[in-house]
Amino acid sequence: MAVTPFPSATVRLQDPAYRDRNLTTLAIELGFSSASAFSTAFRHRFGTSPRDIRRA
């Protein structure tokens, strides 16, 4: 069974402790090869961008 990085991603995007990390850094920490790959997969899964989640 594959482990999905998205629960951790949504927590990190909303956690003030991670505000100083840009999306590229978060993407790499979560195992994606780039911010673009992370954003595409995130948008496909949730229907919104990681940036929108962070701003909410």
List Cβ neighbours of 2 (8 Å cut-off, separation of 6 or more). Answer: none
d(CA 33, CA 56): 25
Residue 20 main-chain phi, psi, to 5 deg: -80, -10
**Tens digit of each residue's pLDDT, the chain (56 residues):** 345 677 788 999 999 998 999 999 999 988 999 999 999 999 999 999 999 999 88
